[in-house]
Amino acid sequence: MRRQRGFTLIELAIVLVIIGLILGMVFKGRQLIDSAKVKSTAAQYNKILAAINIFYDRYGFFPGDGCLADETDPGNCTGTKDGILTSDDETSAFWTLLIDGTGILSRADRRSVFGQDWQIWYGTAHGLTADWLDLPGGNQMDVRILCALDKMIDDGEYNTGDVRSNRVYHDDDNCWGMSGQADGWIKILP
């Protein structure tokens, strides 16, 4: 009798099932990480808003408003306090005063889940002029995370509300089916 070498159909099926289970766990792990990034960004945004409100309650103006770039003492901010940060000096002073003047933020809270520090940008995004949280360089955000964040904390539309983007998505879109990078802005001051 001749001895056959190779795999039986059952052995091959078992190997394929094991490979499928491993791949399934890898993809599920990726979804969990992405979901955590969305929740972390939402929590970070809410923490920054809370710090802004605490600063405003303590000092009567928004951090950086009417301040010079190097200002570390809110009492020395003697410029025009108009409720918006329109100059480079004001946006530069924003983070120093917000972190030092509230006690609830650290320098690490400025770092986004995308690996860069948030910056303040004054301008118009889809017809709304305001101060925005933004990442330098443009197109630095994963569009899936930005879309899911918009749905979580805002209206889910790319061109309305407090979260805006240069990539088109809508409330009924599957954010996790998208790909690529986007530039996104999150409104922080009126």
Range of the domain at 166: 40-189
Residue 145 lies in a domain: yes
Mean pLDDT within 48-77: 94
| Bridge partner list, 163 | 186
The whole-number average pLDDT for the span 45-52 is 95
Q: What is the mean pLDDT of the segment spanning 125-141?
A: 89
Q: Is 135 contained in some domain?
A: yes
CB 84 within 8 A of CB 131: yes
pTM above 0.75, yes or no: yes
Burial 116-153 (b: 16+ CB within 10 A, else e): eebbbbbeebeeeebbbbbbeeeebbbbbbbbbbbbeb
Report whether pLDDT(3) > 80: no
What DSSP state is assigned to residue 108?
A: G
Q: Considering the domain boundaries, does residue 15 fall inside one?
A: no
Instruction: Report if residue 138 sits inside a domain.
Output: yes
Helix ranges (DSSP H) in the chain = 9-59, 88-102, 143-153
Tokens 């950086």 belong to which residue? 64
Asked whether the predicted pLDDT for residue 43 surpasses 90, the reply is yes
User: Is 57 contained in some domain?
Assistant: yes
- 154 vs 25: which has the higher pLDDT: 154
**In the predicted model, what is the mean pLDDT of the chain?**
91
